[in-house]
């Protein structure tokens, strides 16, 4: 006997995730509609496998702070950007859909100004995506399929930068977007400091560092 459950009958606690297999694209779309847009959960779908995860409060704080640091970097370096947060990115013909913790259009920012509905059949994927506590192969497979050029993953106090090269993600020490700035070390430093001095003070400190570091690099060049 097959038992059918409605999503509202399933209780996913913070820090937990639900994996559903043999989910059709039509079912995935129906689940997205049932979940609605204003929710804490994140979903990823890759060729029949659907994962629904409920982030912990500390997950959300790390996501927000890392996103803020990226915005400071972009602004201080006078790099144009468009924020797309946890937008649902879908490619029906590839049976792929995902929602990043945060993401930005940077190299393609001009193309996305005023774009309220992303259509990956004509629009590019985000240039930079941020994920916190990624442990799922499904998520990485989805990012690969969508062709997101740069992916930052923060987990267990460690930040890694991955760039897409020849169909796979390679770990590198510095972001191509931010040149030679040691963003990994400094983001981790100020992320830790935010737990002691508070988010606002950490943001101010990070901004001061970016101004100093970027000025030093310009002087060297």
Reading the chain (221 residues) residue by residue, the pLDDT tens digits are: 333 445 554 667 777 788 999 999 999 999 999 888 877 788 999 999 999 988 877 888 999 999 999 999 999 999 999 999 999 999 999 999 999 999 999 999 999 999 999 999 999 999 999 999 876 889 999 999 999 999 999 998 999 999 999 999 999 999 999 988 999 999 999 999 999 999 999 999 999 999 999 886 555 55
What three-state secondary structure class fits 171? strand
The answer as to whether 17 is a domain residue is no
d(CA 14, CA 41): 9
Examine residue 7 and state whether it is found in any structural domain, yes or no. no
- Please state the domain count of the chain: 1
CB-CB contact of 169 with 140 (8 Å): yes
* Exposure class string for 64-85: b at 16+ Cβ within 10 A, else e: ebbbbbbebbbebeeeebbbbe
Distance CA 193, CA 152 (A): 20
The residues facing 45 across adjacent strands are 50, 97
Instruction: Return d(Cα 150, Cα 11) in angstroms, integer.
Output: 33
Measuring CA to CA, which residue among 59, 67, 123 is closest to residue 91? 123
> Does any domain span residue 15?
no
Q: Is 29 a member of any domain? A: no
CATH code for the domain of 155? 3.90.1570.10
Three-state secondary structure call for residue 207: helix
Output the pLDDT for position 40: 79
Domain that holds residue 213: 56-87+99-219
Q: What is the DSSP string of 107-149?
A: TTHHHHTT--S--TTTSPPPSEEEEES---HHHHHHHHHHT-S
Is 34 part of any domain? no
- Would 94 be classed as within a structural domain? no
Please give the Cα distance from 41 to 215 (Å, whole number).
Answer: 40
Assess if residue 163 is contained within a domain: yes
- Supply the pLDDT for residue 181: 95
> For residue 169, is it left (φ>0), alpha (ψ between -120 and 50) or beta?
beta
pLDDT score for 1:
36
Please check whether residue 106 lies inside any domain of the structure: yes
């Amino acid at each position: 006997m097959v038992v059918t459950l409605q999503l509202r009958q399933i209780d996913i606690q913070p820090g937990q995730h639900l994996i559903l297999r043999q989910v059709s694209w039509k079912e995935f779309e129906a689940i997205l509609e049932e979940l609605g847009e204003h929710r804490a959960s994140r979903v990823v779908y890759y060729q029949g496998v659907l994962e629904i995860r409920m982030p912990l409060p500390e997950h959300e704080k790390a996501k927000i702070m890392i996103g803020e640091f990226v915005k400071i970097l972009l602004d201080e370096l006078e790099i144009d950007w468009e924020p797309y947060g946890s937008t649902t990115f879908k490619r029906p013909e590839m049976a792929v859909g995902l929602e990043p913790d945060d993401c930005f259009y940077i190299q393609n920012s001009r193309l996305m100004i005023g774009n309220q509905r992303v259509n990956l059949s004509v629009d590019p994927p985000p240039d930079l995506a941020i994920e916190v506590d990624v442990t799922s192969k499904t998520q990485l497979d989805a990012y690969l399929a969508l062709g997101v050029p740069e992916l930052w993953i923060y987990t267990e106090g460690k930040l890694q930068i991955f760039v897409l090269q020849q169909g796979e993600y390679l770990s590198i020490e510095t972001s191509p977007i931010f040149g030679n700035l040691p963003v990994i070390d400094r983001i981790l430093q100020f992320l830790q400091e935010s737990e002691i001095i508070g988010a606002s003070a950490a943001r101010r400190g990070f901004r001061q560092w970016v101004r100093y570091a970027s000025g030093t690099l310009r002087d060297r060049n």
